[in-house]
Chains A and B, each alone.
Chain A
Amino acid sequence: MVKAERKPIEEIKDAINGYKRVLITGCGGCVSVCLAGGQREVNELKALLNVHLKKDNIPKELDGYTMERQCNDEFLKELDSTIDQYDCVISMACGAGVQNMATKFPQIPVFPALNTVSIGIDKDIGMYEEKCRACGNCVLGYTGGICPVTRCSKGLFNGPCGGTNNECCEISQEVPCAWLEIFHRLKEQDRLDDIKKIHAPMEWQNQAPRTIIQESYEKRYSV
């Protein structure tokens, strides 16, 4: 599912500067599962903002509401009757949900509380790893289930560059060479012919796959 993490509190606080009645909306979809924007996080953000605002002596009214999904208009209808009571909305959904909310309620500013990072997997509780960049042209069938867009730093589509160093990528010893892994995987399945075909490359930036750890779990994974 989509994995996201919360923005620093200062950024969120600055965004709602000047607005008195704020609605914090959560989403029961992907961001709930990755512990970033569900009902519990809405309550946490509300409490945290209240603490910060009290310290700065700024009076604001904060309310929280969590709907099933923000990427679907059906569920945004639940806010129709109450949205006009607010001056702005902080949306704790992924980028898609924020945009959907902003489109549905164009008269009210909608601020994102999360940075949507990627489509990823659940590695362990609180730890989520990027696996997919949603390029729209999945070649996993040819590469034995290892994504060259996400895992190869250069996003190469037709085999390793000359920089493979000690089975690792030339950018760092901690990043394994994706194409070496693809080679091993396909060899095991006896499908090396698949990578002998030439595929057109895709244009990408930011190649190294990113992992998120939610704040309360940083200690657990010895960061």
Chain B
Amino acid sequence: MTDHLSPTTLNALVDGELSAGQLAAVKEHLDGCSACTSSALAHSLLKNATAKSGQRYHAPPELTERMKRLVSGQQAVDHRHPVASGVGRRAALSGWATAAVILVLVGGWLFLGRHALRSNTASTENAALMTEVCDLHIATLAASMPPQVVSSDRHTVKPWFQGKLPFSFNLPENLPEDTKLEGANLTYVHDRPVAQLLYSVGRHRVSVFVQEKTGESGTNDFLTHQAGFQIAGFSTRELEVVAVSDVDPARLSGLMDMIRRVQVS
């Protein structure tokens, strides 16, 4: 394969539609062609971003309830029993009594299990948040574009967000050694506007995402890693802050400590 890969091939590659033979040929080509490798990355990132942006509308709870009633009502009609008589009626009555006991037991179990379910939901949401901020950080690095506001001056960067975000935050004057504010972007996480602050720590880039705290959502202090990136976070009464970088965890924590200290508690 000497020519560059066609858009159709690149699409088929990111959509997982190539046969084993085609995939081997494409991989061989990508090994020796940086332009096509770059195009493949661009295709992959666009697909990923489209997948996230496309999941935009959420079914209202009333619709969900209505559809549940519709479906269960229809099925009840489909499977309606003839009028019970004699033995059948007694069997049905004992059935209802047993069903009532089961209902009470299941109700208790559901009540006890609700806490577990809630914590599962929270961990799923957190995992989604980690993935999203990692993707945004990677997309920022891959774009090789200057930030939307380019400045190392916190008095330039912070005011730039006026009117763009429904909240405000503080930026530290003093930063750890070899750490510099490079600028910032206005971006979106889970459809909410977020400040993406861009720092460099030595030659490492750090994205610090600052968003408004909503409801019960909250990231307690944490330091974890995903896809090779370190992810650190904390929350205040009004803000959630998450940082992503490939810098070592101690230096990331140092930067986050500085940012945390200047927030209004």
Is B one of A's binding partners? Answer: no
Residues of B within 8 A of A (CB): none
Residues of A within 8 A of B (CB): none
